[in-house]
Amino acid sequence: MPTPYLMNGDLQTIFYTLTHPGATVVDLYPYTRTLVPLRDGGQISLDWIQHPDVDQNFDQSTPIVALLPGLTGNRYCGYVKALIGEVCRRKFKCVVLNHRGCSQTPLTTRKRRVIMTMIAQLYCATSIGDTKAGVTEIMRLHPNNPLYAIGVSFGSNLLGNVSAMF
């Protein structure tokens, strides 16, 4: 039976965050970051998970799994950590694609004028160019490795749209 005072997902998330202060920021897996510059001056980042069982045997036959988190997701989220663990357990190389300005990726896009206001370009579900750039960079760095991808929520929307471009 659900707790009556935590009747929706928002309250459950807030409760969990307040009662488990370190749970959302513990980095179980070390990583190296690759910044991917974009044509408009912005950038995204690729967090390459470092796992000894995978890295010591990494070669051109090792599959790579790209994880595309949800709207505000990153490698700290519980569902992303669970996916990383499962991917590494299977001895696949794992990389998390971070959206502009997310997961401590510096927001570097030049400001542009929109309706009398200067704003920096952020990511959105209808603009798949950033995701395509991330996938293209992975393919450039490891052209012979099999590449798979897992998208969650917003990430699955992006993945579906980008898949049609390759």
> Which pLDDT value is given to residue 13?
64
pLDDT digits (tens, 9 = 90+) for 30-39: 999 999 999 8
For residues 46 and 97, the answer to whether their CB atoms sit within 8 Å is yes
CATH of 9-163, one of 3.90.1300.10, 3.50.50.60, 3.30.9.10, 3.40.50.1820: 3.40.50.1820
- What is the spatial distance between Cα 61 and Cα 145, in angstroms, rounded to a whole number? 6
Which residue type sits at 58?
Answer: F
pLDDT one-digit tens code per residue, 59-105: 999 999 999 998 778 887 888 888 998 999 999 999 999 988 778 88
Q: What is the percent of the chain with per-residue pLDDT over 70, rounded to a whole number?
A: 78
CB neighbours (10 Å) of residue 155?
A: 23
Phi, psi of 74 (to 5 degrees): -160, -175
Question: Quick one: pLDDT at residue 165?
Answer: 79
Unique residue bearing structure tokens 């190296």 = 32
Q: Are the C-beta atoms of 43 and 100 separated by less than 8 Å?
A: yes
Q: What pLDDT, in 10s, does the model give residues 145-159?
A: 999 999 998 889 889
pLDDT > 50? residue 25: no
Q: Write down the pLDDT at residue 20.
A: 58
Beta bridge partners of 48: 32, 95
Q: What's the pTM value of the predicted model, to 2 decimals? A: 0.78
Which residues fall within 8 angstroms of residue 30, CB to CB, at 6 or more apart?
A: 49, 50
Structure tokens at 132: 């395509």
- pLDDT tens, residue by residue, 106-130: 778 765 555 555 555 666 666 788 8
